[in-house]
Amino acid sequence: MVYAADEQRYEKLPYRRVSDSGLILPAVSFGLWRNLGDQMPLENSRNVILKAFDSGIFSFDNASNYGPSNGTAEVTFGNVYRNDLKPYRDELVITTKAGYHMWPGPLGEFSGKKTLVAALDLSLQRMGLDYVDIFYAHRWDPNTRLEETARALDLIVKQGKALYVGVSNYTAEQTKAITKIFDELGTPFIGNQVSYNMLNRTAEKDGLLDVLDQKHAGLVAYGPLAEGLLTDRYLKEIPADYPIHPTNQFLFKNGKDALIAKLNALNAIAQGRGQKLSQMALAWLLKDERVATVVIGASKVEHLVDNLKFSDNLDFSAAELKEIQAILDK
């Protein structure tokens, strides 16, 4: 059966402009990460991706190392794109990243020119694309001269393989350093994709949001639910073997009981708003216009649909924000 997108898809979610650029993104983007790679049946992945598009999500985020097996998330997306989404290419914002381990040998990671150029070529092949809308350097490279990384990204744009470039997991100071080179080259830098959620507010505290705003770029927030902590699953107990992302490991520094108490306090506010904790967590991130989009993931259609109910209540009263701030500061 030939796929036909929902004609009302652009009426279902808010979308926002990235700073004062010409790029517009849905409030939430769909990230494939480890949700829809080689360990998930293709038909299920297709259903989730198409449901996302039908629901107003037209931005899809990937990376060379997503899968779980390297490249397989891009293969999955490529299959759905070729068979279903290709007629809608001009509506889609497709992004990918390179920098974490992608293939054997010393050139299979980080941000040297050869590595970034080769990685994007492989990504384009896997997804069946001529170009991506945003290509990110996935992490800071402590060994490669920053000018080489910046010039490689600039070259990729000039070759027509990406419309915009970005960085991921860069600090405020690192972002400031590479954007200085981009300014000199005239490279269309669009943003920094970092871990940002109610419990991990490094992006605020180190000045990253301010730096991006000054550079006419946006913050793309990944991990908005702190690997599931900002849901109703862990209000009673957090398992001893809980797989926390490195960017969020500090959340356990005061013990799990303290974190559980904080989660329950936030959940009480969410219930008062008529939302689940996960839905409020997404809405809270979007209160700041400097957040260009929030990357969410799902391996099941029902999980995706549940999270998208965040848009039913995007407004926070001053009292709610004050109460949330007090909880987060504990």
Q: Give yes or no for residue 205 having a pLDDT over 80.
A: yes
**Is 280 a domain residue?**
no
**Contact of 278 with 297, CB cutoff 8 Å:** no
Query: Which alpha helices (H) appear in 159-308, and where do they start and end?
Result: 172-185, 202-205, 208-214, 256-272, 277-285, 301-307
Q: For the chain, how many structural domains are there in total?
A: 1
**Is 93 a domain residue?**
yes
Query: How many Cα atoms within 13 Å fall on the side-chain side of residue 127?
Result: 30
For residue range 179-193, what is the model confidence (pLDDT) as tens digits?
A: 999 999 999 999 999
**Is 75 a domain residue?**
yes
**Is 240 a domain residue?**
no
**Is 271 a domain residue?**
no
**Is 262 a domain residue?**
no
Which residues constitute the domain of residue 161?
9-228+286-315
CATH number at residue 179: 3.20.20.100
**Is 101 a domain residue?**
yes
Q: Which of 91, 285, 286, 290 is nearest to 172 (CA)?
A: 290
In the predicted model, what is the mean pLDDT of residues 206-232? Answer: 96
What is this structure's pTM? 0.95
For residue range 101-131, what is the model confidence (pLDDT) as tens digits?
A: 999 999 999 999 999 999 999 999 999 999 9
